[in-house]
């Protein structure tokens, strides 16, 4: 492999732990180096660099936390993940307070190591502006191939591929996705990357207008064709001539309009309201809907024939909560967009605030995230967005514990979260979780009761 996903430096004197991590991380495409103590790590830094440091909290020769503080002072953008032996949660908390990105407990849970590494490296690359060891020649994780569209998750890459495939064709495209997922942005990207890009991009909002108005809005009208039609007017479909017509919220079109639209698409011609003459229709249609259309077809509220016309190619845009890996890149884009115009430019975000953003489920998707950042930028008196700049609903989305006291966590919170993480990673197998946590099964049960965690789906 010529390019790696990032460079990781392990600082640990325990050869077994190093081997285990090396195996997991190299398998995921990282370049892994290791040193056995912080002194060697310093030498390593003089010669090269890393995107992430995984350091044991009890290395010999120096206190792990002092090392962490030193690292933070010299390399602010560099995420440091601490590794702690069973039960040393107190040290983990101290570490998080001192600015560690996250912590991993030994023995390692493979999926946890992988996900922490991925998040941390992504964080480093998104925030440092100096991605290292990352393949920048092909698909860039920062600049998407489609201008304003940001995101490097597998599902967004899937969307990019679909855009690239359909842009060169003239087929009708249906874009489905929840509100605020970027449907319009995708429609614009299709238009801009295809042969019609010199033509107009015209939006028709199916939800905005009453039926009769929408009909004349879409198809145009002749003078006197209805009360108020004082002069003849071109419809939006006609205005989109040689370009693209974006039919937003198609699910809201009435059955009558659906029929008229179908005819126009099939016959490739339109007739203004009140006219007998028809004009040729030379537009590419891209339709969008928040609701999946298929159930509406089954329920009889959306015409099946029109559905098949539009559904030649469908692009499904996943909700943001299913691609939270895109959040750091989006946040960075929005900070750049809104932060630079302030007198004190806002240029960054604290890792606690980022973690809150990553955990919130974003029912309003990217639009809601964009508004949250715009607001945070306006509120923040500093160059860095902090948890208190975020909307209350986002701040309180964490297991409330984690958001407590301006982002600091208590030992209990950390213990609870850690227990839940271990349980989640082991199919709620209580026996295994207890072994991993190094406590008796009964103690685990007692703790779960204490934290009010129901063990209904736990394997005991
Ligand atoms: N992948 C993305 N990268 C950057 N910005 C995005 C992305 N997706 C959405 N946005 C931004 O989020 C906002 C909402 O996007 P858009 O209007 O395209 O969503 P939509 O799916 O059409 O929503 P609705 O169904 O409510 O009309 C816009 O400001 C857009 O620029
Ligand atoms: Mg829209």
In the chain the domains, ranked by start, together with CATH numbers, are 7-128 (3.40.50.2300), 154-320 (3.40.50.300), 323-390 (1.10.8.60), 411-450 (1.10.10.60)
**Centroid of ligand 2 to alpha carbon of 208 (angstroms):** 12
74, 155, 187, 329 from 317: Cα distances, Å? 41, 8, 12, 17
Evaluate if residue 336 carries a pLDDT over 80.
Answer: yes
**Ligand 2 centre distance from Cα of residue 43 (Å):** 53
Distance (Å, rounded) from C-alpha 421 to C-alpha 413? 12
The mean pLDDT of 255-264, rounded to a whole number, is: 91
Say whether pLDDT at 447 is over 90. Answer: no
The set of residues, in sequence order, having a beta carbon less than 8 Å from that of 141 and lying 6+ positions away, is: 122, 125, 126, 131, 134, 152, 329
Ligand 1 atom index nearest CA of 187:
18
pLDDT band at 128 (very low <50, low <70, confident <90, very high): low
Measuring from atom 23 of ligand 1, which residue has the nearest CA? 180
**Tens digits of per-residue pLDDT, 178-236?**
999 999 999 999 999 888 999 999 999 888 777 778 888 899 888 877 777 777 788 89
- Between the CA of 189 and the centroid of ligand 2 the distance, in Å, is 13
pLDDT per position as a tens digit, 14-72: 899 999 999 999 998 999 999 888 888 877 877 667 889 999 877 554 567 787 888 77
Three-class SS of residue 204? strand
Q: How confident is the model at residue 157 (pLDDT cuts 50, 70, 90)?
A: confident
234 CA to centre of ligand 1 in angstroms: 29
Pocket of ligand 1 (CB under 6 A): 148-151, 177, 179-185, 290, 330, 333, 366-367, 370
Mean pLDDT across 123-145: 45
Pocket-testing residue among 157, 182, 330, ligand 1, by greatest number of atoms within 8 A of Cβ: 182
The more confidently predicted of residues 345 and 59 is: 345
Q: Please give the pLDDT value at position 304.
A: 94
* Mean pLDDT across 269-294: 91
Average of per-residue pLDDT across 319-335: 93
The residue-averaged pLDDT of 145-164 equals 84
- At 2, is the pLDDT very low, low, confident or very high (cuts 50, 70, 90)? very low
Which pLDDT tens digit goes with each residue over 384-426?
Answer: 999 989 988 888 765 544 444 445 566 776 787 788 888 877 8
Please, are residues 409 and 96 in contact by the beta-carbon 8 Å criterion? yes
Q: How far is CA 266 from CA 56, 117, 167, 178, 260, in A?
A: 66, 52, 20, 28, 10
Alpha carbon distance 288, 184 (integer Å): 8
Cis amide leading into 107 (omega within 30): yes
pLDDT for the residue numbered 223? 83
| Average of per-residue pLDDT across 419-434 | 84
Task: Answer yes or no: is pLDDT of 318 > 80.
Answer: yes
Q: Check pLDDT > 70 for residue 363.
A: yes
**Which residue's CA is the closest to the ligand 1 atom numbered 15?**
182
pLDDT at 133: 30
Q: Higher confidence at residue 129 or residue 103?
A: 103
Q: Which two tokens stand for residue 187?
A: 């429609």
Average pLDDT over residues 65-88: 76
- Ligand 2 centre distance from Cα of residue 290 (Å): 9
Site to probe by mutation for ligand 1, drawn from 367, 370, 371, 372 as the one with most ligand atoms within 8 Å of Cβ, is 367
Entry pTM: 0.60
Q: How many CB atoms lie within 10 A of CB 347?
A: 17
Q: What is the per-residue pLDDT for 181?
A: 97
Query: Of 302, 310, 320, which is closest to residue 362 (Cα–Cα)?
Result: 320
Q: In degrees, to the nearest 5, what angle opens at C-alpha 385 toward C-alphas 391 and 66?
A: 125
Task: Look at residue 54 in the predicted model and tell me its pLDDT.
Answer: 92
From 144, 181, 188, 318, mutation site for ligand 1 pocket: most ligand atoms within 8 A of C-beta: 181
C-alpha of residue 187 to centroid of ligand 2, in Å: 9
Q: What is the pLDDT of residue 139?
A: 35
């Amino acid at each position: 492999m010529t390019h790696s996903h990032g460079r990781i430096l392990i600082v640990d004197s325990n050869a077994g732990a190093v081997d285990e991590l090396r195996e997991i991380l190299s398998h995921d495409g990282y370049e892994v180096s290791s040193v056995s103590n912080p002194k060697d790590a310093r030498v390593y830094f003089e010669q090269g660099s890393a995107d992430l440091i995984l350091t044991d909290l009890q290395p010999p020769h120096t206190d792990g936390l002092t090392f962490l503080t030193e690292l933070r002072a010299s390399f602010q953008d560099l995420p440091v993940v601490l590794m702690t032996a069973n039960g040393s949660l107190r040290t983990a908390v101290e570490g998080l307070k001192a600015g560690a990105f996250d912590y991993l407990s030994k023995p390692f849970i493979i999926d946890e190591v992988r996900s922490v590494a991925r998040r941390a490296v992504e964080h480093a690359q998104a925030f440092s502006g100096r991605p290292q060891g990352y393949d920048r020649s092909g698909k860039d994780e920062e600049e998407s191939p489609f201008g304003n569209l940001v995101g490097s998750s597998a599902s967004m890459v899937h969307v990019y591929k679909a855009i690239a495939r359909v842009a060169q064709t003239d087929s009708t495209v249906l874009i489905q996705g929840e509100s605020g997922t970027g449907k319009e942005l995708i429609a614009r990207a299709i238009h801009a990357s295809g042969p019609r890009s010199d033509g107009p991009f015209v939006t028709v909002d199916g939800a905005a207008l009453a039926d009769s108005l929408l009909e004349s809005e879409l198809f145009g009208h002749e003078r006197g064709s209805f009360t108020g039609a004082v002069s003849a007017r071109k419809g939006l479909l006609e205005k989109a001539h040689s370009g693209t017509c974006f039919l937003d919220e198609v699910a809201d079109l009435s059955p009558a309009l659906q029929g008229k639209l179908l005819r126009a698409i099939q016959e490739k011609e339109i007739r203004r309201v009140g006219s007998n003459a028809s004009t040729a229709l030379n537009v590419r249609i891209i339709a969008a809907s928040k609701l999946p259309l298929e159930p509406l077809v089954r329920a009889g509220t959306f015409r099946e024939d029109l559905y098949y016309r539009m559904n030649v190619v469908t692009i499904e845009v996943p909700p943001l909560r299913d691609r939270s890996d895109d959040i750091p890149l989006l946040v960075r884009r929005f900070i750049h967009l809104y932060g630079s115009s302030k007198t004190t430019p806002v240029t960054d975000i604290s890792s606690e605030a980022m973690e809150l953003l990553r955990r919130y489920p974003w029912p309003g998707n990217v639009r809601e995230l964009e508004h949250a950042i715009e607001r945070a930028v306006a509120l923040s008196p500093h160059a860095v967005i902090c948890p208190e700049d975020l909307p209350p609903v986002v701040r309180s989305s964490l297991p409330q514990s984690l958001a407590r006291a301006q982002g600091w966590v208590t030992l209990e919170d950390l213990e609870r979260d850690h227990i839940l993480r271990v349980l989640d990673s082991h199919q709620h197998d209580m026996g295994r979780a207890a072994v991993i946590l190094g406590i008796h099964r009964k103690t685990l049960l007692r703790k779960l009761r204490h934290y009010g965690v129901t063990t209904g789906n736990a394997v005991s």
